[in-house]
Amino acid sequence: MNTQTSPSPQFYLTAPAPCPYLPGEKERKVFTHLVGPRATEMNDLLTQGGFRRSQNIAYRPACESCRACISVRILANEFTPGRSFRRVLAVNRDIVATAFPAQPSSEQFSLFRRYLDHRHQSGGMSDMTALDYAIMVEDTHVQTRIIEYRVRAPGDGLKGKPKGELVAVALSDFMSDGLSMVYSFFNPAMEKRSLGTLMVLDHVNRAKALGLPHVYLGYWVKGSDKMGYKIRFQPQEHLLSQGWQRYTSSEASED
Residues 6+ apart with CB under 8 A from 178: 73, 76, 207, 212, 213, 214, 215, 216
Predicted pLDDT at 255 = 47
Q: Is the pLDDT of residue 139 over 50?
A: yes
Q: Is the pLDDT of residue 6 over 60?
A: no
Q: Which CATH code of 3.40.630, 1.10.1220, 1.10.10, 2.60.40 fits the domain covering 81-210?
A: 3.40.630
pTM, entire model: 0.90
Instruction: Please give the average per-residue pLDDT across 232-240, as a whole number.
Output: 96
Query: DSSP letters of the chain?
Result: ------SS---EEPPPEE-SSSTT-EE-EEEEE--STTHHHHHHHHHHTT-EEETTEEEEE--SS---EEEEEEEGGG----HHHHHHHHHTTTEEEEEEES---HHHHHHHHHHHHHH-TTSTTTT--HHHHHHHHH--SS-EEEEEEEE--TTTTTSSS--S-EEEEEEEEE-SSEEEEEEEEE-TT-GGG-HHHHHHHHHHHHHHHHT--EEEEEEEETT-TTTGGGGGS-SEEEEETTEEEEE--TTS---
| pLDDT tens-digit map of 37-61 | 999 999 999 999 999 999 999 999 9
Predicted pLDDT at 206 = 98
Q: Rounded mean pLDDT of the chain?
A: 90
Domain definitions of the chain by residue range: 12-69, 81-210
Predicted pLDDT at 122 = 58
